[in-house]
A and B are shown apart, each in its own frame.
Chain A
Amino acid sequence: MLVFDNVSKVYPGGKRAVDHLQLEIEEGEFVCLIGPSGCGKTTTMKMINRLVRPSEGKILLNGENLLDKNVVELRRSIGYVIQQIGLFPHMTIRDNIALVPRLKGISAEERNRRAEELLELVNMPKEFLDRYPHELSGGQQQRIGVLRALASDPPLILMDEPFGALDPITRDSLQAEFKNLQQSLGKTIIFVTHDMDEALKLADKIVIMRAGKIVQVGSPDEILRNPADEFVEDFIGKERLAQARQQLQTVGQIMNPNPVSVGMGETLSQAVKLMRKRRVDSLLVTDGAGVFRGWVTVETIERHKNWDAAVADIMETDVPTVRADTLLRDATRNILVRGLKYVPVVDDRKHLAGILTRTSLVDVLYDSVWGDTEDESSGMADGEGA
């Protein structure tokens, strides 16, 4: 929907606020721009509604160069929430909300209906329509600032630290409220913040910037799992990162990647030999291509007696497996509830990748329940990462 193609902004005086920015934003995406003060977030955003003109490169909106569009119409088609809220003190809440529709020549009735409808979205009573901004609390004003950007139903909304000036409790509820709103309305949002928690909570895509350049782009999970460099790690914060690592650990990270396995065509006597040698009571069975097919236990072999039979003849095939990229938190319950001692781990093509034992699972659970030292748990994640 929106493409930054090699965009730079050099302010008069030579300050390079945005440096060769390359970024693509999909329709319906909630994108957070985040980074330290002065890294160019606001500048990047203001280039979208042409409050700032790029010095180099071009920005395409639905394939069309922004600079080729009529600037007034462009701005009316993009919602804009500024950090300082910026409600007009001489206009009622109704007139503030319905400002863009008014500029577009929408009738008074229609505007009024729209203002009422929007106010309902944030659970504020109609009586507020005739009040003036000064008569509202900071949180209420910030809500109206957001509604004003929604008034003409623009597909794209720019928000510059819209919840910055709020106390933590109001901010929390407004964030949740807004995330719901965005999802139900299907808007594309570009949201500037310097609060990582806010970005992690709201974003589909986080763009981390530093000195006018993009350091990393990714979903919150991706960024938490693989911070691009030390700067990103510092920015996320060690504590949050350790916590997230646990939350985001995959089965692949804690499984034993060298399970004892046997080929389908092997005989039972060979299987037993292998069990003895490796001191295990069961074997995972794979075919020639390494695809997991089932398992055999020492009990079934015992019952069978025909030592020359192939493993394939007696193996159990109805065996639960888990994929290596499953998040541990999703796999855990399943395994514990079913009382499995171990679960074979497969990759996306069903190849045997490892084995997850109840013991290793319990170790991890201990860590998260009793908050074992972070160093140990993150060390383990690093060590066994596939």
Chain B
Amino acid sequence: MDSIRTFFSEYGALLAEKTWEHLYISFAALALGVIVAVPLGILLVRLPKIAGLVMGIAGIVQTFPSLAILAFFIPLLGIGKVPAIVALFLYSMLPILRNTYIGVKNVDPTLLEASRGMGMTTFQRTTRVELPLAVPVIMAGIRMSAVYLIGWATLASFIGGGGLGDFIFDGLNLFRPDLIIGGAVPVTLLAILLDLLLGKLEKAATPIGIRLERGEA
């Protein structure tokens, strides 16, 4: 108990700073991921011919070791937060892209026919029918992505991006288990917390009518 107190008195300020950095990197990557992957997912539903190809490529990128990707960006973007965010963004895309694609693609075709037959434009059909109905699936993808990102963001430290990874890598280099634990525990807690929060958000974002249909409201 004492050791925890001394750890906080010594590293508290730094811990807060690194946690903030960690969240910053993760959310920046996540935000980029949402901004790119959701529209791309919708677009892919409209382009069935290339959808398979793009989803395949995204799947392959996902299998690259994270460290390799981070290292890959050093010559292109140097070191620091920006390459870290870009690399993590690439990772975050796949779950969001896949879920958006599946969510939109699985919207009941009779509803699409109804919306076309009633005179919705393609844009209206997307924003008023497909997206609201796909929201639960898309949100699940975002949530999955966010939880992964919190973990992956520890690697940002490796290329000078900062974050809680700094504690862990320092601890590893200096043989200081307290630093390793001091970094790893907050990462885990953040991941759990975020999962809970986004779970709530996922529910809130699901249209009431859909929740009723599933017997959840």
Contact = CB atoms under 8 A, between A and B. Distances in A.
Contacts of B212: 132, 134-135
A84 B213 CA distance: 17
A140 to B, nearest CB: 15
The CB with the most chain B CB atoms within 10 A, among A51, A73, A74, A99, is that of A99
Given A86-B110, A86-B111, A103-B124, A75 B209 contact: no
A91 B124 CA distance: 14
B113 A90 contact: no
Given A80-B114, A82-B113, A90 B210 contact: yes
A88 interface: yes
B151 interface: no
Contacts of A77: 119
Contacts of B207: 89-91
Contacts of A51: 113, 116-117
A84 B110 contact: yes
B190 interface: no
A311 interface: no
Contact of B119 (A75, A90, A134): A75
A148 B119 CA distance: 13
A287 B116 CA distance: 68
Given A90-B210, A132-B212, A133-B209, A75 B116 contact: yes
B208 interface: yes
A90 B114 contact: no
A106 to B, nearest CB: 13
Interface residues of chain B: helix, strand, loop or mixed (majority): helix
Contacts of A133: 209
B209 A76 contact: no
A351 B52 CA distance: 79
A356 interface: no
A140 B209 CA distance: 16
A76 B119 contact: yes
Contact of A132 (B115, B121, B209): B209
A118 interface: no
Nearest to B122: A72
Contacts of A86: 108, 110-111, 113-114
Given A86-B110, A90-B132, A103-B124, A80 B118 contact: yes
A135 B210 CA distance: 11
A132 B133 CA distance: 14
What class of interface size applies to chain A in its complex with B?
Answer: 20 to 34
A65 B120 CA distance: 21
B117 A90 contact: no
B209 A82 contact: no
A296 B157 CA distance: 122
Contacts of A216: none
A92 B119 contact: no
Given A84-B110, A88-B129, A103 B119 contact: yes
Contacts of B117: 49, 51, 75, 80, 82, 158
B118 A100 contact: yes
A103 to B, nearest CB: 6
Contacts of B108: 86
Nearest to A83: B110
A72 B114 contact: no
B209 A72 contact: no
A91 B129 CA distance: 9
A133 B207 CA distance: 12
Contacts of A158: 117
Contact of A76 (B111, B118, B132): B118
Interface in B36-62: none
B196 to A, nearest CB: 25
B183 to A, nearest CB: 43
A89 B213 contact: yes
Contacts of B110: 82, 84, 86
Contacts of A148: 118
B208 to A, nearest CB: 7
The CB with the most chain A CB atoms within 10 A, among B132, B133, B209, is that of B209
Contacts of B208: 90, 132
The CB with the most chain A CB atoms within 10 A, among B114, B124, B212, is that of B114
Contacts of A89: 133, 207, 209-210, 213
Interface of B: 108, 110-111, 113-121, 124, 129, 132-133, 207-210, 212-213
Shortest Cβ-Cβ A-B pairs, 3 listed: A90-B207, A75-B119, A76-B119
10 contacts: A73-B119, A84-B110, A86-B108, A88-B209, A89-B207, A90-B132, A90-B208, A90-B209, A132-B209, A133-B209
Given A49-B117, A86-B108, 9 more contacts: A51-B116, A51-B117, A72-B119, A88-B129, A89-B209, A90-B210, A100-B119, A103-B119, A103-B124
